[in-house]
Structure formats: structure tokens, C-alpha cells
Structure 1
Amino acid sequence: MTLLAVGINYNTAPVAVRERLAFPADVLDITLKNLRNVRDISEAAILSTCNRTEFYCHTSSDDQAALINWIADTKIIKPAEFTPYLYSFKDSQSIRHMFRVACGLDSMILGEPQILGQMKTAYHAANQAGTLGRNLSKLFHHTFSAAKKVRTDTAIGSSPVSVAFAAVQLAQQIFDKLSDQTALLIGAGETIELTARHLYQHGIGRIIIANRTYDKAHALATQFNGYAIALNEIPNHLAEADIVVSSTASQLPILGKGRVESAIKKRKHKPMFMVDLAVPRDIEAEVAQLPDVYLYTIDDLQNAVNQNMDTRRRAAEQAEEIIDTQVEHFLSWLRSQGAQETIRDFRTQAEITRDEVLQKALVQLNNGTSADEVLQRLAHTLTNKLIHTPCVQLRDAGANDRHDLIAASREIFKLR
């Protein structure tokens, strides 16, 4: 039996290929059931995100041809159009790959935590579809345990590695409760959207989004229960803002020293935290001279992000060591499964012997034999029956110079 992991990701395939191999959540159930019906595949799960699609299978063969043909037929795409972008892992390398993915070590942003949630979603989908068996189910649970250990024992996820998140984390250090604060976000691009998302997830009290195009500001504000304004309305709302984050493509400053100074007076010198993520700058540098204003530029935050990336890289090295150990633990479990059938048969045989001897002992008691005598006979008979076959086999091993079998027996029975 083989554990197989086959997939594509942001490193190996362009988005034009990745989108063709994506599996929406609403089709996963029937897709998984169809996948498990493929020849040689007994267990299956699919991880599908914007950055990767991966297939995890327990198969009776290490031949990927059946899986590749199924992918081609299911997605109506020729194998030649996606196989150059595929990577595949088997057995111990499959285990290691799943652990690394769940820990964020294979992510576009090193150590990002979202992939673990996506891995759990893949597990629940496969579990619901009934396509998991003992091996893949155990592997997923071990994967989650390994990821938890990495997060607990290293600093892989403790430091922000995007300027947007770094800005929000800095705001948390300045203000006791974000839920009491109002954030004014200037711009409507990717950076402002990411900032809005982080603020919203951290419970910001109120979001105002200002943009040159009001419709874009309104579309973004709607996602986060915010309020949209045009750029020319900023003077009317600036004093409301405890947090200001600006990221536009303007060639001239959006906020000057005088405008911010007026807002501070209206706020009765209540502190204002400002982050300028634009190049050229949206906020005049002189604003930093104002009392009660904490102004940070993209360079200030980028330095922090670079330091944090170094921290994550060092943590990733620790994580790899943890993963090495966890892979060996899972492989030990897998190896132990080969003995399970023998253990069950041995236990069943012993229980049959026990029941036979016990039944004879009960008959003797019913016939009036004393309990002491019955117990003595039961112990003697049970001992002889349990050791009879091993003793016969050991004698034969000695007669046939099977010293390896004799040595193994001493180890199994812990004989000194």
C-alpha cells in the first residue's frame, strides 16, 4: 500500500493552470466519491485553495497514471496541459509534505496560518464524503498535531510579515481596545483591503474608507460594515479617526500638516495613529512633528517586517526538525499496523484456550470438586496450553539452527 500526494501550487503552475484544476466546495462531495472509485485508490482527500490543489490518496499501487487520467477526465483537460506542473510524493515524503503544508512552510507567505484551516476543511469534506479510511484519517490527525506543535514550540507565526498586518499589530500596541476606535483608510487597493480585513477581524469599532472613486470605496466598505466617503470629504471626518492608514497612487500628499493639526485640535489632543504606506508619501513628513501624532512610513514597517521574516526563517528551521520527528512517529505507527492482524489472531487464539479451560473448570466445580483443586488444575492447564505451541516451535527452531527465531522469541517474551 502507498500513501500518495500529487498536486500543483503557486510555485509550479501559473494561475491559468491552477484555476482549471480547482475544485469548488459545492462539488467536493461527489468528486471525492468518484475519486475513491478510481482503480487502486481506497482512500482520498482533496485540498483546493487559490494557491494549490493537492490530492492525498491511499492506494494499492504507486502508479499515478490512474489518478492523472481521472483528473484529466474530471476537469476535461489533456494530461499534457497540466502534468508538467505536477509534483508527487510517496509514503514518507507524502507524510512530510502534508506536515510542511499544514505548518505553512510551503506557503507563499512563510508560516501563514490560513492553510491549516484549509487543511482541516479538506479533512472534514473527505470525512463527510466517506472517502477516508484508517490510514488517511490518522495521517490528517497527526498532521494537525504536528502543526499545533510547530506553532506552540516555534515563533513561526508570532510576527507579522505584511505591512498591512504590521500596521494593525502596531495599532493594537498603541490602543488598549480597537473596538473603541475609528479607522480612516485612504485608498481602495489591495493593501487597504488587507488592512481593512485585519482591522475587522481584530474587532475595530468603525471603519471609514475614502477613495477618489466613491463607488470603489463603497464596494470595499460594504464588505466590512464600513462607511464610504470621497477624498474631498476627508476634512469633515479626519477628527473622528483614531487610526489613519493611507495607500494611494497620488503624486501629491493627501494630508498636510495644517489639516492634521486642525483635526488634532478638534480631538482635544486625543492621540492619532497614522500609517503612510504610499510611495510617494500620502502624508507630509512634517506631520510627524505634531504632538499627539504617531506617524509611521512604509519604511518603518518594512524594517519590522524584514526582521520578522528573519525570525520566521529561523523558526522554520526549528519546525523542520520537529517535522522530522513527527514523520518518524507516524511511520512507526504505520509499521505497527502490519503486526495488528497477527496480534488479533494471537489474542483470539488465547481467548479460545482460556474459554475452553474455564468451561472445564466450571464443570468440575459443579461436580463437587473443591475450588482450590479446580484453581490449581486451571492454572496448570492454562499455562501448558498457552506455552505448548511456542515451545514446540522453539524446539524446531533449535533443531534447524534458526537462531534468529530464538533470539526474536527472547526479545518478544522479554526473557533475560
Structure 2
Amino acid sequence: MYCVISFSHKNLDISTREKIALPQDKIQDFYHSLFATFPNIQECILLGTCNRFELLMFAPSYNAHAIIDFIASDREIPAPQLRAGAQVFFEKEAIEHIFSVTSSLDSLVIGETQITGQLKSAYKLAFDLGFCKKQLTRVMHFAFKCAALVRSQTQISKNPVSISSVAIVHFLSLSPIKDKVAVVGTGEIGILCVKYLLSHGFDVLLLSRTLQNAQAIQDELQNEHLSIASFGQLPEVINSVRYLFCATGAPHTIITHDMIHPCEFGRIWFDLALPRDIDHIEREDISLFVIDDLQEVALENKSKREEELQKAHHIISEQVVLFEQWLKSLDVEPLIKAFRDKAKQCCLDEIERSLKKGFITKDEEDRVVRILHNAFNKFLHHPTSYIKTIKESPESDFIIENVKKLFDLEGEEFFQNPYKCERHNKND
């Protein structure tokens, strides 16, 4: 049974999402603890982004409340608080939710393509660690296929938007003067902020904990309005520039109260990280915006794309139906019957042709039928036995699809190279 337990920007504020977020080096320990506590869980993928924390699972049965309480205990969050912010999906609803998330219909910024890559990375990690096997792999293959269809058949991802672009749109709506902007962090969000700001004519100072990363970006962009600085200059920078964008992967705040000094000018800061990079501050000379403050801009973006959203949801509904049909087609018994029936029919057709041509007489028909029947039974014995033995193995889907193709049976080949081809693509 498929199940998703979801905590997202829809139901949890940023302070709770910060607490539930897992550092990369803690994910494997979380998996081990989860599987040790709930041995009936057979497979799991943990998806953690700045806007969501989700467990995609496969198990015979679930105690969703117990799993939520386990997460609450692990992340030291009051269980009632976490329960109130949880969404739980089972079976068809779970599949539909996974397809929607992968296709960026459940994102804060509808149509952003970053989520597909994030899910591929989460899938790759779970697969490589052995926590994701055949059942969730099936869903992931279809989910990535579904996301590709949504991108190609709708305008959802045309003129792509992201947290970075929404933040820049909001920043520009504040009518900033053309002054220097500091960007802290050389991850995907930070790099996009740099590009957007440069395209709008701002001078940008990029700070990175690893100066070589900032240097590589400067070399790539070759823009005279971009300069770089080391992380050690952060205390000086935050008190000398009007505008600041922070988006690092630090597990704790990097700008604390004691680092902030009074300035003669007002400052506008954007904290696009989770956990947050900047301490909660209340100062008249600083306007601080975090991810959740961008909801209004994101909702405006969603309303403009409403027609395309309907098309996208229709595609997802179709793909959910196709996925269910495809799962049923993987039953090996009907497949075995199909290729054995085809072999039998070929024998009968040849006997009928031989009778018409006079190669055999009517009196010989029964004996020839028995001979051919024994021959194709003997020929198909090994394929039949083999398919029965591999039906629970991870590679069975791939083999079954190719048996269909080999014997020219109905059904298209779905996996080109299972557990690899769609597992991870850095271009997404």
C-alpha cells in the first residue's frame, strides 16, 4: 500500500518547517531509525526541501499517527502541533500527490522545475542506501514521466519561475535604488538571485564560504557588475549594504543579533534558506522577508496560470489511471498465459495451413497437434519457470516489459533502463 505523509508550506509555518528539516548528514540515520521503529515499512523516500518534508512509503499497513509522533519525537516538536500540520494520503491519492509534487503543481511557486531535480536526488539517495526498491521505483518512473508531460504539454513551466525569481519580483516592487546587493550562498537559489539581479542592472557582491565557488561563478558570468568576497567579510558587509539575499545550506543561522549594527540607511533583507540564515529580528531599519512572506506573489502567479493548471491536473489524472492499469499488467500469470496461448495458436494455424496444402491428412491431425503441443511446452518450460521465479525481484518489471516486446504482446515498453535512466539527471 502506497502512503505519503506530508508537511508543507500549506499547513506548517516556517519556524516548524525549520525544526523538521534534516541536515544531509542526518538523513541516513533517520532512515535507519524509521525502519527499526516501523519494521512493516518496506520502502521509503524522504523528500526535504525549503517548503516541504515528506515521507513517500510502501508497506502492507500503516499507523500514520505513530509515524507522525515518531517524527515529532525525532525532531523535538510537540506531537499535537505536528499532527495538526500533517497531510496523509493513501493509495490512489498518494500516487496523485506524488505526481503533482513532481510536476510542481503543489509547489509554493507553481511551475518551478527545481522540485523535479530535488525529488530525483532524494530518490537516488534512498535507492543507493537500499531504502527504496521496486514499488517506489515504479511510482518514481511514472512521476518523472508525468512531470515531463506536464512541462511539454502545458505552459506551466514556460518563462520559468522559482523562489529566487519571486523574491526578486517582490524586491523590485519595493522600488529599490540601484545600489549594491549582497548575495550570500552559491547554491542554486543564490546563483539564480545573482543572475536576476545582474539582469536588472544591480551591482552584486557574492559571498561564499568557499571562495573558489564564488570565483567559478564570476568566471562563468564574466560580468563587470559582479564582485566576490569571502565569508569572513560577512559581518562587515551586512552593515555596509542596503540589500541582502541569503540562501545557504547552513544548519544554523549565520547572521545573528550581535553582528547587526545601526546604519544611517534602511536595509531590505531576504532570507531564502531553510533552516533560516538570519536570526529573527525586529528593527525599524531592517525589513526582513522570509520564504513564507512570498506567498502573495506566488498566489498571483498561480492565478495567472489557472487555465494551464487545469490542463496539468487533467494530465496527472490520466497518468494515475495509466499507472494503475500498468501495475495490473505486471501480473506474471496473465503474461505467461498470453505467450503460451500465442505459441499454441501459431501451432494450430500451421496445422490448418498444412491440412489445406495437403502436407498432412485429417487422420494425422490429432497426432501432429500432440507433437507440436509437447514441443512448444518443452520450449517454453524454462521461460515460464524463470518468469515465475523473478516476479518479486527488482528487475522483474524490466524483464516483463521486454518479454511483452519479444513475443509481440500488447503493452508498450516503459522502462528503457530501469533503476538508472530516470533515477537522476543533473540537467533537471
* TM-score of the two chains, using structure 1 as the length reference: 0.54
Name the CA distance, whole Å, in 2 between partners of 1:97 and 1:4: 10
> Which structure has greater helix proportion?
1
> In the alignment, is residue 315 of structure 1 matched against residue 308 of structure 2?
yes
1:188-337 mapped onto 2 (5 Å cutoff)? 188=182, 197-198=191-192, 209=203, 217=205, 219=207, 223=214, 224-225=217-218, 226-227=226-227, 311-337=304-330
**Is the CA contact 1:44–1:58 (under 8 Å) kept in the aligned structure 2?**
yes
Shift of 1:381: 4.8
**Which residue matches 1:26?**
25
Name the CA distance, whole Å, in 1 between partners of 2:18 and 2:2: 25
**Is the CA contact 1:62–1:90 (under 8 Å) kept in the aligned structure 2?**
no
**Which residue matches 1:379?**
369
**Is the CA contact 1:103–1:150 (under 8 Å) kept in the aligned structure 2?**
yes
Structure (1 or 2) with the larger CA radius of gyration = 1
Identity percentage of aligned residues: 24
Shift of 1:250: 10
* TM-score of the two chains, using structure 2 as the length reference: 0.53
**Which residue matches 1:107?**
107
Name the CA distance, whole Å, in 1 between partners of 2:364 and 2:265: 101
Change (3 A) 1:204 1:14: closer
Give structure 2 stretches of 5+ with no counterpart: 170-177, 219-225, 230-241, 245-262, 267-296, 345-360, 378-428
**Is the CA contact 2:179–2:202 (under 8 Å) kept in the aligned structure 1?**
yes
**Which residue matches 1:82?**
82
> In the alignment, is residue 7 of structure 1 matched against residue 6 of structure 2?
yes
Per-residue CA distance 1:13-61 (angstroms, 9 max, x = gap): 1122212221222222332244334232111110011111000111111
Name the CA distance, whole Å, in 2 between partners of 1:27 and 1:167: 29
What amino acid does structure 2 have at the position aligned with 1:20? K
**Is the CA contact 1:8–1:52 (under 8 Å) kept in the aligned structure 2?**
yes
What amino acid does structure 1 have at the position aligned with 2:308? A
Question: What secondary structure sits across from 1:320 in the alignment?
Answer: helix
**Is the CA contact 2:7–2:52 (under 8 Å) kept in the aligned structure 1?**
yes
Per-residue CA distance 1:185-240 (angstroms, 9 max, x = gap): 633479xx9997337569979x9736xxxxxx5648964543269xxxxxxxxxxx
Q: Tell me which of the two structures has the higher relative contact order, counting C-alpha pairs closer than 8 angstroms and 6 or more residues apart.
A: 2
Question: What secondary structure sits across from 1:82 in the alignment?
Answer: helix
Question: What secondary structure sits across from 2:58 in the alignment?
Answer: strand
How many residues align? The count is 276
Give structure 1 stretches of 5+ with no counterpart: 170-183, 211-216, 230-245, 253-303, 355-371, 388-416
What amino acid does structure 2 have at the position aligned with 1:9? S
Name the CA distance, whole Å, in 2 between partners of 1:8 and 1:333: 29
Q: Which of the numbers 161, 167, 181 marks the counterpart of 1:187?
A: 181
